[in-house]
Amino acid sequence: MTNSSPSSYDEMHDADGAARAAYNGYCKWFEEQPPGLLKRKGSEAEAFFRRTGITFNVYGAEDAEERLIPFDMVPRIITAHQWRKLSRGIEQRVRALNAFLHDLYHRQEIVRSGRLPERLLERNAAFLPQMAGFTPPGGVYTHIVGIDLVRTGEDDFMVLEDNARTPSGVSYMLENRETMMAMFPELFTRVRVREVSDYPRRLARSLAACAPPAARGHKPVVAVLTPGIYNSAYFEHAFLADQMGAELVEGSDLRVENGRIAMRTTRGWKSIDVIYRRVDDEYLDPLTFNADSVLGVSGIMDVYRAGGVTIANAPGTGIADDKAIYSFMPEIVEFYTGEKPILQNVPTWRCSEPDALKYVLDNLADLVVKEVHGSGGYGMLIGPTSSKKEIAAFSAKLRARPDNYIAQPTLSLSTVPILTKAGLAPRHVDLRPFVLVSPNGIDITPGGLTRVALKKGSLVVNSSQGGGTKDSWVLDD
């Protein structure tokens, strides 16, 4: 889709150009602002981000320059009514994800019942046999989930992806709000927006509630495990550790001591109860997974399985956000909750199935094709914006390894205006709310990360490919 189809649903304006209910208050305020003010605020915001060091590194970028994720000052607004429905759907989906993971690593009822083909697990690197038969502390697999939602109409929200490994972006949710409140304080006195700033406190509480048996009798010690300052999301790791009052540790700070994971402090070795790890499964334990890894801790899997530490998210949760599994999510939700899914999937063709493959090959020019294990918008084909040559090349790849791909229609994603030199202009958006899971329940922060494609008509919102972010508002009743 090179140009937004005129049928795209704009969240701010209806077909007649009038403000929709969600944006009533905002649009009134906007019209009262002197021209030029918002543009000036834009450069203020950029200087603010540079100074505070809210940057990310782009994978594979030669000079490893720190880049800013562009921030757009027009908020994305969701009504209280819409949010209630979304929350119910998200809650149901996350409940199902955890039940699914528990089942996969135990009796695999869903496979036995014939609802999920066994081959999806057999050749899947995200499925960790080391987790078989083990139940994480509190029975929680996905302590932190980011559900990517897209919207195509007034009430049509669909799940594009379930990020069940280590979803990132929550620091942008928080900093974008801080920035908006600092730049337009009076706006927040006129429009009542629900708070997101207590996310770190909720995260700390949620993680502490998942402490392992070894932590009984004392206040759990939580640490954030980062790959280090060269990781693209390092800012976020440091930010969250700081906000939670947790230590920010690297693999080299840790070792196994008396059956616990301990960090080297200035007073000696100190045990950690809960590790919020931002290191991928394969680097977690060189003894168990990738032997060359220096990012993890030798022996952590043994300590984990013996109840000496909680790892959040649990190793092996990646199987649940695998794109091949994704297409089964409606069945998965129904199987474990006994309810109809509240949130729909985006229609998905599994290229591993011959009929689907044929359809996809015949219609490549209209489809989005993704690698089953890919992420960050890499290795995908967006049919409508690709040349004949690109499509032919991709078609060959697809034929060679059909089970490596899924395909989806190019959705007419909703738009929200951004501020351009020429004024407001609609751009496509998605939304990633952040969900915390503990034995005490599922906790969804009212808001999330709105990613926005800055190029006109573009559907790619990934920050690594030039997308930006917006502050996301959930209105108070």
Partner 1 sequence: MLGRSANGIFWLFRYLERAENTARLIEAGFRMALTRDSRDASDEWRSVVVTLGLQKAYEAKFGREYGGPQVFNFILRDKDNPGNVLAMTEQARTNARMVRTGITREVWETVNESWMRLRDLLARPVSETRLGDVIDTIRRQATQVRGAMDGTMLRNDIYNFARMGTFVERADSTARILDVKYYVLLPSISYVGSSLDNVQWENVLRSLAGERAYRWLNAGRMEARGIAEFLVLDGRFPRSLAFCYAELQSNLAHLAREYGGEMASHEILRDAASKLHTITIEAIFEQGLHQFIGDFIACNTRLAQQIQRDYRFIE
In the bound state with partner 1, the residue whose beta carbon lies nearer, of 23 and 71, is: 71
Interface with partner 1 (CB under 8 A), residue from 253, 302, 334, 390: 253
Q: How far is the CB of 183 from partner 1 (least distance, A)?
A: 17
Stretch that binds partner 1, among 248-256, 288-296, 370-378, 387-395 (CB under 8 A): 248-256
Stretch that binds partner 1, among 1-9, 114-122, 145-153, 247-255 (CB under 8 A): 247-255
Query: Pick from 59, 35, 62, 76: which is nearest to 448 by CA?
Result: 76
Contact status: 338 vs partner 1 (CB under 8 A): no
Angle at CA of residue 458, ends 36 and 426, nearest 5°: 40
Say if residues 298 and 285 touch (Cβ distance below 8 Å): yes
Number of residues that bind partner 1 (CB under 8 A): 22
Contact status: 249 vs partner 1 (CB under 8 A): yes
Q: How far is the CB of 271 from partner 1 (least distance, A)?
A: 14
Contact status: 266 vs partner 1 (CB under 8 A): yes
CB count in 10 Å sphere of residue 229:
11
Contact status: 1 vs partner 1 (CB under 8 A): no
Q: How far is the CB of 178 from partner 1 (least distance, A)?
A: 11
Contacts to partner 1 from residues 295-334, by CB under 8 A: none
Contacts to partner 1 from residues 215-234, by CB under 8 A: 229, 234
In the bound state with partner 1, the residue whose beta carbon lies nearer, of 248 and 314, is: 248
Interface with partner 1 (CB under 8 A), residue from 2, 135, 252, 344: 252
Q: How far is the CB of 253 from partner 1 (least distance, A)?
A: 5
Interface with partner 1 (CB under 8 A), residue from 22, 263, 442, 452: 263
In the bound state with partner 1, the residue whose beta carbon lies nearer, of 23 and 235, is: 235
Q: How far is the CB of 224 from partner 1 (least distance, A)?
A: 9
Interface with partner 1 (CB under 8 A), residue from 264, 373, 397, 456: 264
- 311 Cα distance to chain centroid: 18
Structure tokens at 173: 């949710």
Interface with partner 1 (CB under 8 A), residue from 265, 344, 363, 440: 265
Q: How far is the CB of 393 from partner 1 (least distance, A)?
A: 41
Q: How far is the CB of 199 from partner 1 (least distance, A)?
A: 17
Q: Pattern of binders to partner 1 over 14-53, x per CB under 8 A?
A: ------------------------------------xxxx
Say if residues 86 and 149 touch (Cβ distance below 8 Å): yes
Q: How far is the CB of 247 from partner 1 (least distance, A)?
A: 6
Which backbone phi and psi does 25 adopt, to 5 degrees?
-65, -45
Contacts to partner 1 from residues 46-105, by CB under 8 A: 50-53
In the bound state with partner 1, the residue whose beta carbon lies nearer, of 30 and 269, is: 269
Q: How far is the CB of 239 from partner 1 (least distance, A)?
A: 8
| Residues 6 or more apart whose Cβ sits within 8 Å of residue 475 | 22, 77, 78, 79, 80, 83, 191, 192, 193, 194
Contact status: 3 vs partner 1 (CB under 8 A): no
Q: How far is the CB of 89 from partner 1 (least distance, A)?
A: 35
Q: How far is the CB of 187 from partner 1 (least distance, A)?
A: 24
Sign of CA dihedral 298, 304, 310, 314: positive
Residues of the shown chain interacting with partner 1 in the complex, contacts defined by CB under 8 A: 50-53, 229, 234, 238-239, 241-242, 247-250, 252-253, 263-268
